[in-house]
Amino acid sequence: MIILIFQVINHGISQTVMDRAVEVASDFFKLPSETKQEFASDDIRRPVRYGTSSKDGTRPSRAFLKHYAHPLSEWMKYWPEQPPTYREDMGKISAEVRRVALQLMEAILEGLGLGKDYQHEEFERGLQLLQVNCYPKEPESESAIGLAPHSDHGFLTILLASCPGLEVLDRSSDTWRVVQQPRHALHVHVGDYMEVLSNGRVKTVVHRAVLNPGEARISMASIHSFAMHEKVSVAKKLVDEQDPEKYKESSFSDFLDYLMSNADKKRMSFLESLRI
């Protein structure tokens, strides 16, 4: 079993681009509620979506803004126009992070023995979903979860955060490990589609976010997968008699359908629903 959680430092993204993205995200969440509510929707197929979640039903534990980021020319027109530099600053970081994601993907595919150009076209025209999160400072004497345990649906998630708060599940000891987030580092982990493509050799990473006692926290998760209707399936080279195909094929659109049909049940994760 391969665990893929790591951090990249020599990624070539300037500190200014990273800082501006975090800053503009933080400024977005400081906007008046009415401005943010314009983006509020329960329709998960909307190109931009704002929302908040709360653990105790009163105090929000997380606010989020989700939108697509690739191709930029197609999606940027839906992005917030406030703060005034939102589109420019988020556009820059999105394009840079995507470049890093494609490079990492090639290395991972090579490591799996599939060759770096495996499904190259599909990755090139793949989706990039940006999930921008804002967590309040942890209330005194109360340790609190900002985002419940989950795995991401895509192949690869690249995460940038203003301070620590991310924890990943260590499957061998069933304990949560705190992820250090040095200033210039990008945190990388794999999602459900990497487990599918690798026929289970690589495991999806279960993670959560806890509130930081010292300060409010901004995180930006960039999730990379294939285009909306492109099916992700097990790589045939990784299937043989000992290792039969373990997952059904599915697309991002199937994932959205699953979320909608399963909105209040949440008994089974999407990945579990794909197991053969």
Q: Which residues bind ligand AKG (CB under 6 A)?
A: 131, 133, 147, 152, 159, 161, 165-166, 207, 209, 219, 221
Residue nearest Fe ion (C-beta atom): 152
Shortest Å, Cβ 189 to Fe ion = 8
Shortest Å, Cβ 164 to ligand AKG = 9
Piece in contact with Fe ion (CB under 5 A), picked from 8-16, 39-47, 76-84, 147-155 = 147-155
Piece in contact with Fe ion (CB under 5 A), picked from 122-130, 148-156, 197-205, 252-260 = 148-156
Shortest Å, Cβ 207 to Fe ion = 6
Partner from Fe ion, ligand AKG, none contacting 191, C-beta within 5 to 8 A by type: none
Using the minimum distance from each CB to Fe ion, give the nearer residue, 179 or 274.
179
Using the minimum distance from each CB to Fe ion, give the nearer residue, 136 or 191.
191
- Rg for the chain, CA atoms, rounded: 18
Shortest Å, Cβ 64 to ligand AKG = 7
Using the minimum distance from each CB to ligand AKG, give the nearer residue, 215 or 245.
215
Partner from Fe ion, ligand AKG, none contacting 161, C-beta within 5 to 8 A by type: ligand AKG
> Taking the CA of residue 255 as centre, how many other CA atoms within 13 Å lie in the half-sphere pointing to its CB?
23
Using the minimum distance from each CB to Fe ion, give the nearer residue, 152 or 254.
152
Shortest Å, Cβ 268 to ligand AKG = 19
Using the minimum distance from each CB to Fe ion, give the nearer residue, 185 or 209.
209
How many residues in the shown chain lie near Fe ion by CB under 5 A?
1
DSSP notation for the chain: -B--EEEES-----HHHHHHHHHHHHHHHTS-HHHHHTTB-S-TTSSEEEEEEESSSSSEEEEEEEEEEESHHHHGGGS---STTHHHHHHHHHHHHHHHHHHHHHHHHHHTTS-TTTTHHHHHT-EEEEEEEEEPPPPTT---EEEEEE--SSSEEEEEESS--EEEEETTTTEEEEPP--TT-EEEEE-HHHHHHTTTSBPPPPEEEE--SSS-EEEEEEEEE--TTPPB---GGG--SSS---B--B-HHHHHHHHHHTTTT--S-HHHHHB-
Using the minimum distance from each CB to ligand AKG, give the nearer residue, 166 or 232.
166
Over the range 40-53, which residues count as b (16 or more CB within 10 Å of their CB) and which as e?
eeeeeeeebbbbee
When asked if residue 152 is in the footprint of Fe ion (CB under 5 A), the reply is yes
Using the minimum distance from each CB to ligand AKG, give the nearer residue, 114 or 163.
163
Partner from Fe ion, ligand AKG, none contacting 209, C-beta within 5 to 8 A by type: ligand AKG
The residue ranges that bind Fe ion (CB under 5 A) are: 152
